[in-house]
Structure 1
Amino acid sequence: MLGIDTGDRDGRAVVSQGNPDTAHDVAVQVPGTDNDLTNIDEQITRAGVLQKAANDNDAENTAVVSWLGYDAPEVDGSMFDTERAEPRAEDLCSFTHGLRESHQGERAHMTVLGHSYGSTMVGLAASGGGGLDADDIVAVGSPGMTVDHAKDMHINPDHVWVGGAEDDPVSTDFSGLTLGEDPMEKEFGGKVIEVDTEGHGGYWDEGSRSLRNQGRIIAGQDPSEGDYHS
C-alpha cells in the first residue's frame, strides 16, 4: 500500500504488486470509469496479472502499481469531459517523477498504462509540463487521451501503444467524440497492438494476446512481429 485516502469522494488508493523502488521494470496502471475503493481488489488483481505477464516475457523483476489516485467517473455524463481528470493530472505526474527519484540503482524501464477513462487521465497528465517521464505509454479501451497526436504527450510516438477490442463500445463508438482524437486512428501517430479479447473489460484475460502484448511492453520489448501495426 503506497497511499490511501477515504475522504475524497469515492476514495483513492495506490497499491503496488512488487517493489517499484528496486524493480527493473515498473508499470503504473490507471483504471477508468466506475472504479473506487469498493472494487479496488479487482484493480490489485489486474496489477498482479500484468506483473505475471511481464515476468512471463523474461522481465527480470517487475512491479506494477494500481494508481487510483483520482475520483474516477461513474457511468454517466462525467465520462464525457475532463472534469474528473483535471484535478489530479498533476498528481499522476508527481507520482511517476517521484518513482524516478526514489528508485534505487539503474534507471528502471517505466510504462504507464490507462484503461478506459484512465487513458484520458494518462493523456492529460502526459501532455502537461514535463510529461510523465515514461518510456512507454499504453492505452486500451480508450475514449480519447485529450490530445490530437501521440507526440503531444512528451514521448516518442513509437512508444505509444493503443488497443481496442472490436466489440468494445468505448473505443469503437465514443472515442474521438469529446476527449480528443481517437488514438486508434493512423493520424494519431501511435502503434496499434493486436487485441484478441472481447468487450471493454477483457484486455487482461489469461492466455490472451492482448495481455501478452501488454506484458511485453512492460518488459521493455516490442510486441511480437505482426502483432501490431502503425
Structure 2
Amino acid sequence: MSAELHGALALAGAADREAAARLGELTTAAVSGWVSIPPAWRPSPGAGPAEVGRWWAGLTPAERRWLIGHEPARVGRLDGVPVTARDQANRLLLAGRREELAARRRRLLAPLPPGPAELARVARLAQVEAALHGLDALGRRLAAPQAPRAYLLGLDPAGDGRVVMALGNPDRAGAVLTYVPGMTADLADAPGELGRAARVLDRCAALGPGEETAAVLWLDYDAPDFLPEAARSRQAEDAGPALHRFQEGLRASHEGPPARQTVLGHSYGSVVVGMTARDHGLSADALVFVGSPGVGVEHAGELRMLPGQVWASTAPDDVIRLARPPEELARRAVLAATPLGPAAAALGGHELWFGRDPSDPGFGGRRFPSGRYGHTGYWEPGNPALDGMAQIVLGR
C-alpha cells in the first residue's frame, strides 16, 4: 500500500507542477511586462511533426505566447507541438466554436412550410442541438478540476463535428492509448466515447498504480452515419493521413524516453486503424481491434507491426460477426436450406466485410477474451475485455 500511495503522490505532484507551469506561461507577460513577439518564420504546410517539433523547441517563450494568442487555430491542430500549447490554443477557440454551432441552430429555428424540406430541417435541428449538448459536456470536462486533467487537441464543429481530446498528458505519460471510435461517432457522441477511453485509463490505474498513463479520443474523421457508408472503405482511407500524422506528432512532442503507444479501433474505427497501418504506417507499439468487421488485410503481418503486437477481441454475441461479404452470405443462405446449415453456422467463417477476421487464429494476431456484452459492451465493468485492453496499454 505504501508503494501505491507513493506513486499516487508522485503523479499528483507532477500534475500540480504542470498546472503551475501552464499558469505561469499564460500570465508571465501580464505580471512581468514581457511582450509577445511574432516568430520570424513558420514551418511549411507539408512539414512533418518531427520538423514542427524542432521548430517549436527553437522558439522563444515570447514567440510561443504570440502564436498561441494570435494564431490559435494554427497551433491548436499542429501535430508535433506540445500538448499543453495545443490545449491552450484550442481553449481560446472553444467559445467561438460553440458560437458556430449556436449560429447554425438559430438559422434552423425558422420553420418552413410542411413538406420534405421541413422534415429535413427538424432532423438537422435535432442533430445540431445534440452536438451543442455534446460540446457543452466536453466543456464541463475541460473545466473540471478532477484528475486526470483533460487536454483539448482539436475541435471542429463543421458537419457532424470532430474532436481530439486527451485525459492525462500524452507528452509525459509512459503509456498512451489512442482510441478511434466507429460508425455514427460524432460531436454529440464524443462525451460517451471519451468515457470509454476513461474506463480503460481507470483500469490502467488499478492494474499499474504509480504508472502514468494517458488516453486520447481521436475522432478526427468523418465516421459513417449509415450502413451503406459503413460498407465502403472510403472514409477509413480518407482518415489515414491524419491519424498517421497524429501518432507521429505524439512521438515528436513526447518528453523523455518514448512512451508505449497503443492505437485501438472499435467497429469501423478498426477499419480506420488497420488501413492507416497498412497504407501509411502507424507510430505505435501495439494495435488493438475490438468488434471489428475486418481491418483491410488478410494477415497481421501486413500491418507493419512487430510480431505479437496486434491484438483483437470479438464478443460471442457481437452482431459484427454477421458483417460478411455478399458471396459468403449467399453461401450461408444456400446451406441454411440443407442439413449442413446448422454445422456451417457453428463453424462460422474467416472472411468479414473488410478482410479476414482479426480475432481468427489464422489472422496471425493475438486474441484476448470478451464476455457476452454485444457490440458496444467491451468497456462494461466486469467485461474481461476491459482489463485486456488496459493490460495491452501497459505492455503486459
TM over 0.5: yes
Query: Which residue identity is paired with 2:276?
Result: A
Structure showing the higher strand proportion among its residues:
1
1:33 and 2:33 matched: no
Tell me how far 1:10 sits from its aligned partner.
1.0
1:169 and 2:305 matched: no
Identity %: 40
Tell me how far 1:207 sits from its aligned partner.
2.6
Structure of higher CA gyration radius: 2
Tell me how far 1:220 sits from its aligned partner.
0.9
Deviations 1:128-155 (A, max 9, x none): 23x1121111000000101111111110
Tell me the matched-pair count: 218
Report if aligned partners of 2:153, 2:165 keep a CA contact under 8 Å in 1: yes
Report if aligned partners of 1:197, 1:210 keep a CA contact under 8 Å in 2: no
**Matched position secondary structure for 1:138:** strand
Q: Who is 1:193 aligned against?
A: 368
Once residues 215 and 164 of structure 2 are traced to their aligned partners in structure 1, the CA distance between those partners, rounded to angstroms, is 11
Tell me how far 1:75 sits from its aligned partner.
3.0
Once residues 31 and 16 of structure 1 are traced to their aligned partners in structure 2, the CA distance between those partners, rounded to angstroms, is 14
1:98 and 2:249 matched: yes
Q: Who is 1:55 aligned against?
A: 205
Determine which structure has greater relative contact order: mean sequence separation of CA pairs < 8 Å that are 6+ residues apart, divided by chain length.
1
Once residues 269 and 380 of structure 2 are traced to their aligned partners in structure 1, the CA distance between those partners, rounded to angstroms, is 19
Once residues 163 and 72 of structure 1 are traced to their aligned partners in structure 2, the CA distance between those partners, rounded to angstroms, is 21
Report if aligned partners of 2:317, 2:372 keep a CA contact under 8 Å in 1: no
Report if aligned partners of 2:287, 2:310 keep a CA contact under 8 Å in 1: yes
Structure showing the higher helix proportion among its residues:
2
Once residues 194 and 259 of structure 2 are traced to their aligned partners in structure 1, the CA distance between those partners, rounded to angstroms, is 21
1:118 and 2:269 matched: yes
Q: Who is 2:99 aligned against?
A: none
Pairwise mapping of residues 154-165 of structure 1 onto structure 2 (< 5 A)?
154-165=304-315
Q: Who is 1:78 aligned against?
A: 229
Once residues 54 and 62 of structure 1 are traced to their aligned partners in structure 2, the CA distance between those partners, rounded to angstroms, is 7
Once residues 191 and 177 of structure 1 are traced to their aligned partners in structure 2, the CA distance between those partners, rounded to angstroms, is 18
Once residues 369 and 178 of structure 2 are traced to their aligned partners in structure 1, the CA distance between those partners, rounded to angstroms, is 21
Root-mean-square deviation (CA, aligned residues, Å) is 1.2
Deviations 1:30-73 (A, max 9, x none): 00011100111101111111111112111600100000010111
TM-score by length of structure 1 reads: 0.92
Q: Who is 2:195 aligned against?
A: 45
Tell me how far 1:157 sits from its aligned partner.
3.5
Once residues 161 and 307 of structure 2 are traced to their aligned partners in structure 1, the CA distance between those partners, rounded to angstroms, is 33
- Deviates further, 149-158 or 175-184: 175-184
Tell me how far 1:198 sits from its aligned partner.
1.3
Deviation >4 Å, runs of 4+: none
Once residues 392 and 199 of structure 2 are traced to their aligned partners in structure 1, the CA distance between those partners, rounded to angstroms, is 14
Query: Which residue identity is paired with 1:50?
Result: V
- Structure 1: which 5+ runs fail to align? 222-230
